[in-house]
Amino acid sequence: MATVTENIVRHQLQERRQRLEAALQMAPREPQFGRLLKEVDEALARVEAGSYGLCEVCHDSIEQDRLMADPLVRFCLDHLTEKEQRDLEQDLQLAARIQRGLLPEKSLYALGWEIHYHYQPAGPVSGDYCDVVRPDGGAGDLYFLLGDVSGKGVSAAILMAHLHATFRSLVAADFSLGQLVERANRVFRESTLSPYFATLVVGRASASGELEICNAGHCPPLVLSNGNVTPVDPTGLPVGAFYSTSFSSRKLKLGKGDTLVLYTDGLTEARNADGTEYGSDRISRVLAGARQLTPEALTAACLADLAAHLGNAPKVDDLSLMVVRRAA
Ligand SMILES: [Zn+2]
C-alpha cells in the first residue's frame, strides 16, 4: 500500500483507539467498546506487519474506497460472509434513500423559469450532483447545479453529499458566482483526499431572463434558442483539483422559451453494444429538432434518443440531465 494511504490509515486507527479508550473509561462494562478496541489493535498490527489492506481469504487488495469508509474491513467484496453481504446491501439501500432525499423537486417553477431533471445512478448510489435552490422568500435569484464527482459508488456519493451541503450553505451568503465556486473549491479541497475532484456547472437565473453560468471543467451545457444550439464552454478548472484557483463566469440573456440543457458525461459517453459513444453532436441534434417543448418533454425526448442509441447495452455510468427553460 502507498505510504501516504498507510499514514492516513494509521492516523485514523490511532484516533479511533484514543476515542475508544476514553469511552471505555466512562463505561468499562460496555462489551462492544472492548471488542472494537481489540479490532483496532489488530488492524494497527496489520499495518505494522505490512499486511494491512489485504483480504484474509484471497490475499488480494481490499477495495480502497471500502477501506477509507471503514479501516477495519478484513475481506474483499468477493469474500464477505453472508451476514456481511446482507449488512452491506442494507447499508447501501439506506445510503441510496438518503441520497434521493437530497435531490430537489423533480419539476419546479420559480422567477419565470421552469426546471425538470432526470437523475439515474448506475448502481444503488450516484456520484452525480444535482440541486436547485429557490430564491429565499421570494427575494434573490434561482440557483441550479449539476456535476459529477470523480470515481464511482459510495465514495463518490459521500463526496456528492459534501458538495451538496457546501453549496447549500454558500448560496445563502451573497457571493458573486465566481466567489461562490472559489469558496466551494477551497472547502472541498481542504476536506478531501487529493485524487478526488468534481466537475460541475453552477447557474444563477434572475426574473429578467439574465443567466450567469460558471462551468468548472464540466461538459458544456447547451443553450437552445430559435433552433440554434450553443455550448457554454468551461470557465474554470474542476472543483477540488487545485487549492488556489479562480473561477470566472459567463453572462447570457435568455428570451422566452429559450432553454439551457445540462448533463453529465453518463449521457455523452454512454456506449452502445458496438462501443460507439452517444456523443455531444447527437444531443445537439435532438435539441435543434425539438422546439418549444416543456422541460419535462425535452428531457423525455433526450432520454428516448439515448435509449434508441443504447439498445440493450448495459448502463455503466451515472447519468443526469437537467433542463432549465425560461417560460414562454
Ligand atoms: Zn478476497
Inform me whether the pLDDT recorded for 56 exceeds 60.
yes
Residue 172: its pLDDT value, please? 85
Express each pLDDT in 228-266 by its tens digit: 999 999 999 999 988 878 999 999 999 999 999 999 999
Residue 28: its pLDDT value, please? 83
- C-alpha 83 – ligand 1 centre gap (Å): 16
DSSP string, 189-241: HHTS-TT--EEEEEEEE-TTSEEEEEEESPPPPEEEETTEEEE---SBPPBTS
Residue 243: its pLDDT value, please? 81
Average pLDDT, integer, range 79-90: 89
More confident residue, 294 or 30: 294
- C-alpha 197 – ligand 1 centre gap (Å): 29
Residue 91 exposure: Cα atoms within 13 Å on the Cβ side: 12
- C-alpha 196 – ligand 1 centre gap (Å): 26
- C-alpha 55 – ligand 1 centre gap (Å): 5
- C-alpha 61 – ligand 1 centre gap (Å): 8
How far CA 303 is from CA of 53, 190, 220, in Å, comes to 41, 37, 18
**Which amino acid appears at position 133 of this protein?**
V
All three cell numbers of 110, joined, read: 420559480
Residue 18: its pLDDT value, please? 92
- C-alpha 152 – ligand 1 centre gap (Å): 21
- C-alpha 75 – ligand 1 centre gap (Å): 5
Residue 241: its pLDDT value, please? 86
Cα 288 to Cα 76: distance, rounded to the nearest angstrom:
48
Residue 191: its pLDDT value, please? 78
222-225 and 210-216 strand pairing = unpaired
Inform me whether the pLDDT recorded for 291 exceeds 80.
no
Mean pLDDT of the chain: 91
The CATH class of the 109-148+200-235+248-326 domain is alpha beta
**Cβ atoms within 10 Å of 289's Cβ, excluding its own:** 11
- C-alpha 236 – ligand 1 centre gap (Å): 42
- C-alpha 74 – ligand 1 centre gap (Å): 9
Best mean pLDDT range from 5-14, 59-68, 120-129: 120-129
- C-alpha 154 – ligand 1 centre gap (Å): 19
Residue 114: its pLDDT value, please? 97
Q: What is the pTM of this model?
A: 0.80
Inform me whether the pLDDT recorded for 2 exceeds 60.
no
Residue 103: its pLDDT value, please? 97
- C-alpha 76 – ligand 1 centre gap (Å): 4
Average pLDDT, integer, range 37-55: 92
- C-alpha 251 – ligand 1 centre gap (Å): 53
Let me know: does 223 contact 287? Beta carbons within 8 Å: no
Express each pLDDT in 127-186 by its tens digit: 999 999 998 776 789 999 999 998 888 889 999 999 999 999 999 888 999 999 999 999
Average pLDDT, integer, range 290-307: 94
Residue 138: its pLDDT value, please? 65
- C-alpha 58 – ligand 1 centre gap (Å): 4
- C-alpha 63 – ligand 1 centre gap (Å): 10
Residue 192: its pLDDT value, please? 66
**Helix pair 31-49, 3-26: axis angle to 10 deg:** 160
- C-alpha 77 – ligand 1 centre gap (Å): 7
- C-alpha 82 – ligand 1 centre gap (Å): 14
Q: Where are the domains of the chain?
A: 3-84, 109-148+200-235+248-326
Give the full edge-to-edge strand order of the sheet including 250-253: 128-133, 142-149, 198-205, 210-216, 250-253
Closest to 162 in 3D by CA, of 212, 113, 232, 98: 98
CATH topology of domain 3-84: Four Helix Bundle (Hemerythrin (Met), subunit A) (1.20.120)
